[in-house]
Amino acid sequence: MAQSNGRRTSRRDIYLKLRQMVLTLELAPGAALSENELAASLGVSRTPVRESLIMLAQEGLVQVFPKIGSFVSRVDPAQVADAQFLREAVELAALEDLPAQLDPAVVEELRDNLERQRRADLGLEEFFALDEVFHQGLMRLSGHGNVWTTVAGAKGHLDRARRLGLHGHVSPAVFATQHHEIFEAVVGGDVPLARTAMRAHLRAVFHDIERIRAHSPELFAADASAVPVRRNIVVWE
């Protein structure tokens, strides 16, 4: 994995790979991180791994404790709420900025996206990817599609909470239905209904957090001052 088409893997590639592993829960909240093990699994030296962990720490996705080690940050409900506030403000504002005539090409892309969301054999990561494209598509309808990059970069804790929520549902069909309701309101020109449906859809993550935290509290940050302790196994206190 260290090389692709004869070119060495860039440091940014390592950062993006590790970030994706954190966001998709492949590296679980609270998990201890070994630079040596990560470097070996990615086929690179420790230097790009160490630099990537520092970048992830700056995003709040990794915590580094001197003389103890590095760990995947547990999901922080406060940071989830902040990211949700930003996302809701941006997406609701975009709905207010929809033009009278919607771009037919983007509308057709969204219709196709919604059809794909209803596939019975759809995996959770496939649905998550379609979900991201759907919301970005709505932003594109308003002429603000480029803003999505900023939103996506600020919602690491939120994305992990959303994935935990998806894993807690039998099927993502309920979210696909919500998307359909938002879309129909948009193409029907009913902005107030679209905003109401969007707000309820985006805020569903808070219910999921409470439901998941009730049976898996170890995934969430309960105390910002908590420090892991290395014994025979790593524990958090």
Q: What is the DSSP letter of 72?
A: E
Overall domain count for the chain: 2
Is residue 119 predicted with pLDDT exceeding 80?
yes
Span 48-105, pLDDT tens digits: 999 999 999 999 999 988 888 999 999 999 999 999 999 999 999 999 999 999 999 9
Instruction: State the sign of the Cα–Cα–Cα–Cα dihedral 66, 71, 73, 74.
Output: negative
One domain for residues 111 and 68: no
Residue 27: per-residue pLDDT: 96
- Residues 101, 20 within the same domain: no
Instruction: Give residue 231's domain range.
Output: 3-74+222-236
Radius of gyration of the chain (CA): 20
Mean pLDDT value across the chain: 89
- 60, 85: one domain: no
Q: Where are the beta strands (DSSP E) in the chain?
A: 3-4, 7-8, 32-33, 62-65, 69-72, 228-230, 234-236
Task: Say whether pLDDT at 7 is over 50.
Answer: no
Claim to verify: residue 157 and residue 93 sit in the same structural domain: yes
- Predicted confidence band of residue 10 (pLDDT cuts 50, 70, 90): confident
Distance CA 79, CA 76 (A): 5
The rounded distance, in Å, linking the Cα atoms of 172 and 36 is 37
Q: Which of 200, 162, 148 is nearest to 75 (CA)?
A: 162
Range with lowest mean pLDDT among 133-147, 181-195, 207-221: 207-221
**In this predicted structure, what is the pLDDT of residue 6?**
35
If asked whether residues 9 and 110 sit together in one domain, one would say no
Instruction: Examine the domain organization and report whether 210 and 227 are in the same domain.
Output: no
Give the pLDDT confidence score for residue 221 in this predicted structure. 86
Instruction: Dihedral sign for Cα 158, 29, 209, 82, please.
Output: negative
The CATH number covering residue 42 comes to 1.10.10.10
* pTM as predicted: 0.84
95 and 201 fall within a common domain = yes
Predicted local distance difference test score (pLDDT) of residue 166: 87
- CA–CA dist 77, 79 (Å, integer): 5
| Residue 1 pLDDT level (bands cut at 50, 70, 90) | very low
pLDDT at 66: 86
Both 231 and 184 in a single domain? no
> Distances in Å between the alpha carbon of 109 and those of 4, 123, 176, 198?
31, 20, 15, 19
Comparison of pLDDT for 95 and 166, the residue scoring more:
95
d(CA 181, CA 204): 15
Task: Tell me, yes or no, whether 190 and 228 share the same domain.
Answer: no
CATH number at residue 207: 1.20.120.530
Asked if residue 87 and residue 21 are part of one domain, the reply reads no
Q: Which of 124-133, 142-151, 228-237 has the lowest mean pLDDT?
A: 228-237
